């Protein structure tokens, strides 16, 4: 069996590759209602310095892709964050599905299945929020916020079942970071246009 250090190294390498290639280079970015004259790097800097952000370094790293650089406004940045969150949730879900196939206790299987459902919910929510950003940032803010408790409950289930899987814990941690980024960007969109919603 691989040592925890080896698993962490493999996870870091996997996530580094994943973060660099998670979005296609031809990502479609919808037009926003309001065009800001803030350069993309300033948009990212402002977002990653927000109150809701749980890990500023992760935020800056995750948003250092070419797709983000061409983001012209907060709505486009929000759309990209939701795509990154959904992609991360899909990658973590595949790890859960892989681990479920291995023999384990009934309690562990129950916890893993709970987490699979939580990640399916997260994927749907991130994808749904992407379409709500322009029309209703307040609803988008709520929809991204409710992902957090689902992932927290998943973690509790894993801990109670004594499931030891560093890859899952890392995936859950990254999901929390994406949720905080999603919450921050939807909060920003609400503040930018307070009378429209």
3-class SS string, the chain = CCCHHHHHHHHHHHHHHHHHHCCCCCCCCCCCCCCCCCCHHHHHHHHHCCCCCCCHHHHHHHCCCHHHHCCCCHHHHHHHHHHHHHHHHHHHHHHHHHHHCCCCCHHHHHHHHHHHHHHHHHHHHHHHHHHHCCCCHHHHHHHHHCHHHHHHHHHHHHHHCCCCCHHHHHHHHHHHHHHHHHHHHHHHHHHHCCCCC
The pLDDT assigned to 195 comes to 55
**156/169 Cα distance (integer angstroms):** 11
Low-confidence ranges of the chain (pLDDT < 50): 1-2, 4-37, 197
The pLDDT assigned to 21 comes to 39
Q: Let me know: does 133 contact 75? Beta carbons within 8 Å.
A: yes
What's the distance, CA 100 to chain centroid? 22
């Amino acid at each position: 069996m691989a040592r925890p250090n080896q698993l962490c190294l493999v996870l870091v390498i996997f996530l580094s590759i994943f973060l660099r290639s998670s979005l296609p280079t031809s990502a479609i970015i919808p037009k926003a209602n309001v065009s800001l004259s803030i350069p993309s790097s300033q948009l990212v800097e402002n977002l990653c310095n927000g109150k809701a952000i749980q890990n500023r370094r992760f935020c800056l790293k995750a948003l250092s892709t070419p797709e983000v650089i061409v983001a012209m406004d907060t709505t486009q940045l929000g759309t990209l964050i939701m795509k990154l969150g959904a992609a991360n949730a899909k990658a973590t879900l595949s790890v859960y599905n892989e681990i479920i196939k291995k023999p384990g206790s009934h309690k562990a299987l129950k916890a893993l299945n709970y987490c699979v459902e939580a990640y399916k919910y997260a994927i749907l929510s991130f994808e749904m929020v992407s379409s709500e950003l322009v029309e209703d940032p307040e609803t988008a803010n709520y929809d991204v916020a409710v992902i957090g408790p689902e992932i927290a409950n998943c973690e509790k289930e894993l801990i109670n079942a004594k499931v030891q899987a560093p890859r899952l814990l890392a995936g859950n941690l990254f999901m929390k970071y994406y949720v905080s980024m999603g919450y921050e960007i939807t909060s920003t969109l609400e503040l930018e246009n307070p009378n429209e919603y």
